Amino acid sequence: MEISRPVAIFFSIILITGLLTSFTDLKSKKIYNQHLIIGAVLGLIATAYTAIFYHENVLFHIINGLVAFLIGFLLHRFSLWRGGDAKLFALYAFLMPPPTNNHLFFPGVISLFACSFIIGMLILFPVFIKDIIINHKAIQKDLFLPIKRQALFKAVAKMIGFSWVLLPLYHLARITNPVIILTTTYLFFSLGYDTNKDLKKNYVSEFFRKDLISLSIVFSIGILVRLWAYPNSLSFLGLLKFIVIITLSAMISTCIHTTFDHFKNYHDRVPFAPLLLSGCVLSYTSFLTEIIHLVARWNVLFSR
């Protein structure tokens, strides 16, 4: 496939910036601002050149860069990325050329983030599993601390409340992908998981006594939503399916949350610059499209 001149120009700048930042990140775990400035200056020159001579869409680059900067800023604020990683992500998004045929919202940012995440997961997952096996005793000890049991109970209770109302709405919206369902239930779980409060001896009975009105309202709303959106969910098999989903979600969410909490500084050991460069390169291929098609086929098989 023939590559256009603007794409070749931006891709060359990405490679220059990527090689510099990847080398320093792997060597000293640092992404230097001077390398980012070099990439930004070259990117601005390339944007002006391609806009004048090839009618490149400048607005696409600006919006992509701003959206990526906002995402990077939030990830940095939540201590998931370092400052250099966030700035490099925004720079790559700015340098991404407009796609010829893509209906995604902010396609450059989504493609870059998704490809980087997938390649990072494939590379780091074996290392992460090895760390879990080596530190499994510390993780188990951390999981069964009294304060963690209290937080776990509240997290599961909040997850059940949200899921009781939303799962029938998923059915109404034809959302059957287990990845989406488990991800959203994990978000509810994380929302309720709080270990900052003092440990209380009778936290179970206090929870039901204190939140009895709220629980009754949530249960009533759930009944009405299920009668309207998915009446079969109130049958024996429907309730059994709900219990299975909640149990599976609670087990997976507990393992994920406990593991990531134990390795809260894990991201400090990960060189993100090579992963972002790999994701950027993969964004120029059909890699993400093939992954989307694979997930879609899996979803069809799961729904049968």
**Three-class SS string for 121-183?**
HHHHHHHHHHHHHHCHHHHHHHHCCHHHHHHHHHHHHHHHHHHHHHHHHHHHCCCCCHHHHHH
- Proportion of the chain above pLDDT 90, given as a percent: 23
Q: Same domain, yes or no, for 167 and 123?
A: no
In this predicted model, what pLDDT tens digit does every residue of 277-296 receive, in sequence order? 998 888 888 777 777 777 66
Q: Same domain, yes or no, for 139 and 204?
A: yes
**Segments forming the whole domain that contains residue 144:** 135-262
Q: 250 with 159: CB under 8 angstroms? A: yes
Q: Same domain, yes or no, for 117 and 31?
A: yes
Q: Same domain, yes or no, for 245 and 139?
A: yes
Q: Between the CA of residue 29 and those of 3, 130, 269, what are the distances in Å? A: 34, 22, 8
19 pLDDT more than 90: yes
207 pLDDT more than 70: yes
Q: Same domain, yes or no, for 258 and 154?
A: yes
Name the pTM for this structure: 0.64
Structure tokens of 5?
Answer: 């001149």
Query: Domains in the chain: how many in total?
Result: 2
Q: Same domain, yes or no, for 291 and 255?
A: no
Q: Same domain, yes or no, for 22 and 98?
A: yes
Q: Same domain, yes or no, for 284 and 211?
A: no
Which pLDDT belongs to residue 139?
73
Q: Same domain, yes or no, for 276 and 128?
A: yes
7 pLDDT more than 80: yes
Which pLDDT belongs to residue 1?
46
Instruction: Identify the burial level of 155 via C-beta atoms within 10 angstroms of its C-beta, where 0-12 means exposed, 13-18 middle and 19 or more buried.
Output: buried
The residue that leads in pLDDT, 108 or 9, is 9
Q: Same domain, yes or no, for 115 and 49?
A: yes
Q: 251 with 257: CB under 8 angstroms? A: no
Q: Same domain, yes or no, for 107 and 141?
A: no
CB count within 10 Å of CB 19 equals 14
**Span of 67-71, 79-83, 102-106, 160-164 with lowest mean pLDDT:** 102-106
Average predicted confidence (pLDDT) for the chain: 82
Q: Same domain, yes or no, for 22 and 115?
A: yes
